[in-house]
Amino acid sequence: MKNRITTYLDSLGKKKLLVPYFTAGFPTMGMTLQYIKAAECAGCDFVEIGIPFSDPLADGPEIQYASKVALDNKTTLNQIFELTQKVRKHSEIPLLFMGYYNPFLAVGVKKFLQKTADSKVDGLIIPDLPIDESTEIRNLADKQNISMTYLVAPTTEKKRIQTINNLTTGFVYAVTVTGVTGSGKKFSPETDKYLKMLQKSLNHRFVAGFGVSSPADAKRLAKYSDGVVIGSKLIKIIREAKTQKSSVTDIEKFLTGVRKSLS
């Protein structure tokens, strides 16, 4: 079976990618499913599903909070696999897991990837796993037809960018600012310069993330990239919603606005 991510990217043309991130189990697993449905209705291209972790080093306060709530809810990997199986009952939207390496290691990398494939998940992002230590998981993922997405940052050396370009099997995730994730980060002319450099250096599609909090942010970053990832802002919208039910409407409305800005 073809990988949904690579198949989609092959037929993308000039369309810009919109990739939302939701923490599995925040505020509940049932609501996570509703947000994924809302994201597809809003015209999103892929969905990143965050696997909650007790020590999320790269994440800012919003995603840390979401992880804590999910863990307090006793969210397990098996429940997350069940979530993606439920998504597949009504949708073929490409799905990625984004998570730290320790939970995968605890299960066993081979077993985790087998379950990921069985649950019809298409890609994997592991922010705390250096690319030169990822050979085993990359080879196993390849056998399961799971694409690997790696991160580059403004501080990444050009030689390493080329290594990432050579080994990525999906798209590249371009971190736009240094530090942890979070909406409201300020973009500068240096951000544009960095993204322009990536346009010249990469022969994979790449999306820009960390700090996207408005349609205007998305439009700006997509000028020199293939699209955007939005995470912390969505967690913030969920937290500020009057009710869980209204949070679904709020998410769809916001993402629809971002989709329009990318058209």
DSSP secondary structure letter of residue 54:
S
Per the residue annotation, which of 40, 45, 48, 250 is the catalytic one? 48
143: exposed, middle or buried (Cβ count in 10 Å: 0-12, 13-18, 19+): exposed
48 is catalytic: yes
Interacting residues of 102 by C-beta distance below 8 A, sequence separation 6+: 53
Q: Give the residue from 66, 136, 65 showing the smallest Cα distance to 101.
A: 136
Paired tokens of 47: 């969905």
Phi/psi at 147 (5° precision): -80, 150
Determine which one of 40, 59, 217, 250 is catalytic.
Answer: 59
Q: What DSSP letter does each residue of 184-217 carry, written as one string?
A: TPPP-HHHHHHHHHHHHH-SS-EEEESS--SHHH
- Both tokens assigned to 83: 């979530």
Question: For residue 22, what are the β-bridge partners?
Answer: 49
CA distance 84 to 120: 7
Does 157 qualify as catalytic in the annotation? no
Helices in the chain by DSSP H: which ranges? 4-10, 29-41, 61-72, 77-87, 101-107, 109-118, 135-143, 158-167, 189-201, 215-222, 232-240, 244-261
The position carrying tokens 């998305």 is: 218
Residues with active-site annotation: 48, 59
